[in-house]
Amino acid sequence: MTEVHAEDIQFAARDGWPLVGTLYRGRDVPHYGVLISAGTGFPRRFYRHIAGYLAARGAMVLTYDYRGIAESRNGDEGFDQIDYTDWGSLDLPSAIDTLRHQAKGLPLTHIGHSVGGHFLGLAANQIELSRHAFIGVGSGYWGAHHLWYIPLELYFWWGLGPYSLLRYKQIMPIGGWSGEALPPRLFRTWRRWCQRPGYLRRDLASASQLQSYAEVTAPIRSWVFSDDPIATRKSAPDLLALYPNASSELAFRRPRDLGLRRIGHAGGFLPGRERLWEEVAAWLSAGPRDPGAWLRSAPPP
């Protein structure tokens, strides 16, 4: 496999919050860029395997930690004020700008994992992204998830979560939560959305910031796995409906279709998923429907 170089970089979110990312490059000259937006509580290093795979095959890849997560935590300063939508309206746009600057005119694409596919409508510069690959992306509303998973969600929302907030003032990686520590305000927003059939729609409809979900027109392919309890055949289309003007399609896969025993909600990014990554790479590198979109240019940030 082509040698891959990984370089940690720092950049600022739209409001100045310091963010940390990792840029992956292969030995050969890249021909497109890929931004990877993480799921809730996942540090950017979790995506290093797929990032390296894509970089070795002609992509320049940027992974990044949202504010409050891993190396973008910035201590305790401002941690308790971080809200869910900050990741989409402040962090994601800056990550897009950073990759655009690094890629120097290459077409840009995007992989969203879980909540990483929820916030495109909050990023004013999402038009820079010509294709989206969603992996494990579905509505967070519990009623659209697998029945066996619902008791675990109720435990997290109303048992572990309140206990952790009371004792630690944040959601700590304890009691079954294996992700990064989460800010209290963000957790409460997440919980509120997940109790509603409309998920985040009510909050976004009344928010003061500009919403641009209808302006997302780049095509989306959403990979859904039969053993994923969250991104299901019901919740994935519900989430895609947030983007009414983007052509979208579901790619439903059983683990055995990819030579695997299990995938679940996050297993698509673990080592040994090359058959899946090959599909994702083929989709992203195929180019946009409008060839002229590759020619978009903008000044560096």
Q: What is the pLDDT of residues 102-155, one digit of tens each?
A: 999 999 999 999 999 999 999 999 999 999 999 999 999 999 999 999 999 999
Residue 149 lies inside a defined structural domain of this protein: no
Distance CA 76, CA 32 (A): 37
Residue 176 lies inside a defined structural domain of this protein: no
Q: What is the DSSP letter of 71?
A: G
Distance CA 74, CA 77 (A): 6
pLDDT in tens, 198-217: 999 989 887 766 568 999 99
pLDDT in tens, 285-295: 986 543 333 33
Residue 58 lies inside a defined structural domain of this protein: yes
pLDDT for 120? 97
Tell me: pLDDT of 15 over 50. Answer: yes
The mean of the pLDDT values for the chain is 93
- Strand bridging mode 59-64 / 129-135: unpaired
CA dihedral 103, 104, 105, 110 (to 10 degrees): 20
What backbone torsions phi and psi does residue 256 show, to the nearest 5 degrees? -65, -25
pLDDT for 209? 60
Residue 228 token pair: 């994923």
In the block, tokens 């519990």 appear at: 142
Residue 67: CB atoms within 10 Å: 22
Residue 301 lies inside a defined structural domain of this protein: no
The residue segments making up the domain with residue 287 are 4-140+210-295
Residue 166 lies inside a defined structural domain of this protein: no
CATH of the domain at 278: 3.40.50.1820
Residue 171 lies inside a defined structural domain of this protein: no
Q: 112 vs 29, 37, 116, 220, 225, CA distance in Å?
A: 24, 5, 4, 10, 15
Tell me: pLDDT of 1 over 60. Answer: no
What domain count does the chain have? 1
Burial bucket for residue 246 (CB in 10 Å: 0-12, 13-18, 19+): middle
Distance CA 34, CA 106 (A): 10
Confidence tier at 301 by pLDDT (50, 70, 90): very low
In the block, tokens 């497109």 appear at: 32
| Predicted structure pTM score | 0.93
Residue 240 lies inside a defined structural domain of this protein: yes
Q: Which helix (H) or strand (E) holds 151?
A: helix 150-155
Residue 224 lies inside a defined structural domain of this protein: yes
